[in-house]
Amino acid sequence: TDIAKIAFKRASTCYIPEGSISMFPPVIGERLGLTKTDQKDKKRCMTFSVDFDPEYTDVKRAFDYETARISPGYVSEIYQLTYDYVDTVLESDNNAFDTLSADEYNDIKLLKKVSMAFNAARTEGGAVGFAFTNPKVILDRVPEISTFNGTPTIYDPGYFPQVSIGHTVNTLSRTLVSEIMILANHISGRFSKKHGLKNVFRGQEFKINSVAADELLKNLLNKRDIKGNLDLVNTSKILPLTLAAYMTMKPARHRTLGLDVYSQSTSPLRRFTDIIVHWQIQNFLLTGKGGLLDGHEVERRIFHLNSRQGIIKRAQNNGMRFWLLKELQ
């Protein structure tokens, strides 16, 4: 469709200090987003599942990946919870929240246990967390940009934006969401691999080209904390060994996530790679005959999306760098 062509050309949503440039026109997100329309309307969805033993004694056996499955279904009456609210729930010892039923409270607590177990399993598998986060640049208002003579120039007489610099704090709720999304993407990868689907997988490796490099990597991995994170000094040592993540049509190991296979599927409204993954899985669920796209079509799209992602990443970094330098001036 024309809408899919627009999304494919953009590749993903681009986030810059002046605001976000959506992959889809805003009206699409309003119609397809789970929380954007009448809550009584049923929305089609895919459920990513795996059996979990909450009484596990060995983290390697907490998840039974042989049961990993993806099922089509419908959802309705979804409501949103803020990160701050969930942090308060997770830090509480009992349900004193008027807006949560006992089951909902227990579900959130169980999700925390699932996320902690999965993080521990990934750490056991060699996952590495780096000791830095990208700064967050916030403008009090978006300036007017003039393109006279083809050169973008800030043109807002008598006013220059106030720049605030911060970073996202990795709270309990954010860690919970992050781990559950990584788990869903892992299930997506396992499902695609099991059924031989030509899909978009994401891999990442370390650059080990000598005995010394191998020994350094092993030494650094031993210095991770219980959550798999390195401090700033050791992060700076491991970065030269860390190769960039890449997209591939073949199942691949993702070393820094500590997973043997990974396929992003949790953000189809802002990443076109996730749309492809959904197309492939959905077609298999409906027909049992493989993905919607053949291998050549998937490979061709990966080539384009790899190129576009590089452009988007540079635009985001340059936009942030511009305003950081303006603030320093």
Residue 225: pLDDT above 90? yes
pLDDT at 136: 80
pLDDT tens figures, 245-254:
999 999 999 9
- Cα-based distances in Å from 209 to 126, 218, 219, 256, 260: 19, 14, 16, 18, 21
How would residue 141 be classed by pLDDT, with cut points 50, 70 and 90?
confident
Tokens of 120: 């521990």
Question: What residue numbers bound the domain in which 259 lies?
Answer: 2-328
Cβ-based burial of 144 (10 A; exposed 0-12, middle 13-18, buried ≥19): exposed
- pTM of the prediction? 0.89
H-run or E-run covering 266: none
CB-based contacts of 309: which residues, under 8 Å, 6+ apart? Answer: 11, 12
pLDDT at 38: 59
Cβ-based burial of 113 (10 A; exposed 0-12, middle 13-18, buried ≥19): middle
> Residue 202's beta-bridge partner residues?
247
pLDDT at 151: 65
- Alpha-helical segments (H) within the chain: 2-10, 26-32, 83-91, 102-124, 172-194, 211-221, 232-238, 272-287, 295-328
Instruction: Return the exposure string of 233-267: e unless at least 16 CB atoms fall within 10 Å of the residue's CB, then b.
Output: ebbeebeebbeebebebebbbbbbbbbbbbbbbbe
Number of domains the chain contains: 1
Across the range 278-305, mean pLDDT stands at 93
Largest CA distance in the chain: 67
3-state DSSP of 121-140: HHHHCCCCECCCCCCEEEEC
Tokens of 292: 């919607």
> Residue 106's beta-bridge partner residues?
none
Q: Pick the more confident residue, 228 or 151.
A: 228
- Alpha-helical segments (H) within 92-171: 102-124
Residue 255: pLDDT above 60? yes
Q: Pick the more confident residue, 289 or 40.
A: 289
pLDDT at 139: 80
